[in-house]
Amino acid sequence: MDASGYLPADVPSNWQIYFAVEDADATIEKAVSLGAAVIDGPEDSPFGRLATLADPTGAMFKIVADNVLDANAAQSPEG
């Protein structure tokens, strides 16, 4: 994805890794219990429930879980 449209011009090119998880909140709770830190989120987005974490050495990563609200809406007769 090209993020140049929404990031400031002074942000250099970089890589971000996303791990797909079943439950973002449960994953965050487990990661924190193992020494991770929550950097941002969790928050619901059109892409799912996202959060940014850092491991105990400072390496950052993101998690994403399917957005349950969108999935439920798609399954309902009105969705």
Tens digits of per-residue pLDDT, 17-43? 999 999 999 999 999 999 999 999 999
Residue 71: pLDDT over 60: no
CA–CA separation, 30 and 51 (whole Å): 13
Q: Residue 56 pairs with which residues in a beta bridge? A: none
pLDDT at residue 52, rounded to an integer: 96
CA–CA separation, 16 and 61 (whole Å): 7
What rounded mean pLDDT belongs to the chain? 86
